[in-house]
Amino acid sequence: MPADLNLPIDINSVKGFLAADEGLALYQYALAASKLGPCLEIGSYCGKSTIYFATACQQNNSILYALDHHRGSEEHQLGEEYHDPDLYDAGIELMDSFRTFRITMREAQLEDTVVPIVSSSAVASRHWATPLGMVFIDGGHSEEAAQTDYRCWSTHIKPGGILAIHDIFPNPEDGGQAPYNIWKLAKASGLFEELPTVNTLGLFRRK
């Protein structure tokens, strides 16, 4: 796994919550998975994970669909723990990370690889018919949001493709349990082969 991807942007300058080892794992798995078909991430925020993911897709002339309603998760809202005032639109009293995301994609030279989908996960999946090489779930961390993301997208992964789930905390004292709960669903489903977890990034291969 390369320690330096020679990115055109300083990855540490991009807002986000993905650790470096998780980002490099995402890149490594996407290098192979994007040869199987286009890929999808759920929860782009300002584009940190997107850079790792899409850089791998770009090398294979593949596509990354970047799905996010860009109104922030529960913890990003006004008065919550991870609220960022720079991403708050006071005029409409809502979070909006899409403008920052677009700037990030331009600076990372990924506009020809990343297809933004500004929508909720449930709406975007309603008529989805494209098989995917890899799905990365890092959207809302409420139980309802995580379950929706898993239910709507996990079956679209091609055999041999990858399912990645961020923020896996088996111990409730370390973090929220919704991502861990869908990780357990994937493990018990019979559809996936479990791969080694990288930090809090849970990984599976579709059988």
CATH classification at residue 121: 3.40.50.150
- Say what the pTM is: 0.93
How confident is the model over 191-207, as a mean pLDDT? 98
The predicted pLDDT at position 72 comes to: 74
Residue 169 φ/ψ, nearest 5 degrees: -125, 95
Is residue 71 in a domain? yes
Give the pLDDT score at 1: 40
Residues 6+ apart with CB under 8 A from 62: 34, 35, 37, 38, 39, 113, 133
Q: Is 121 among the domain residues?
A: yes
Half-sphere exposure of 157 (CA within 13 A, CB side): 29
- State how far the Cα of 23 lies from the Cα of 17, in Å rounded to an integer: 10
Task: Report yes or no on 57 lying in a domain.
Answer: yes
- Supply the mean pLDDT for the chain: 93
Query: Is residue 6 included in any domain, yes or no?
Result: no
Closest CA to 101 of 89, 116, 91, 86: 116
User: Phi and psi at residue 84, in whole multiples of 5°?
Assistant: -115, 110
> Domain range for residue 20?
11-206
pLDDT in tens, 44-65: 999 999 999 999 999 999 999 9
Is 1 part of any domain?
A: no
Tell me what the mean pLDDT of segment 158-164 comes to: 98
Q: How many domains does the chain have?
A: 1
CA distance 168 to 183: 7
Confirm whether 2 is domain-assigned: no
Token representation of residue 71: 């109104």
In a domain, 4, yes or no: no
Q: Which helix (H) or strand (E) holds 116?
A: strand 114-117
Q: List CB contacts of 148: < 8 A, sequence separation 6 or more.
A: 121, 122
Tokens of 56: 């791998």
pLDDT for res 6: 85
| 69, 70, 76, 141: the active-site residue | 141
Does the annotation mark 70 as catalytic? Answer: no
Among the residues of 2-157, which ranges form H helices?
A: 20-33, 48-59, 98-107, 121-125, 143-153
Position 39 in a domain: yes
Structure-token match 């993905």, residue found: 18
pLDDT band at 168 (very low <50, low <70, confident <90, very high): very high
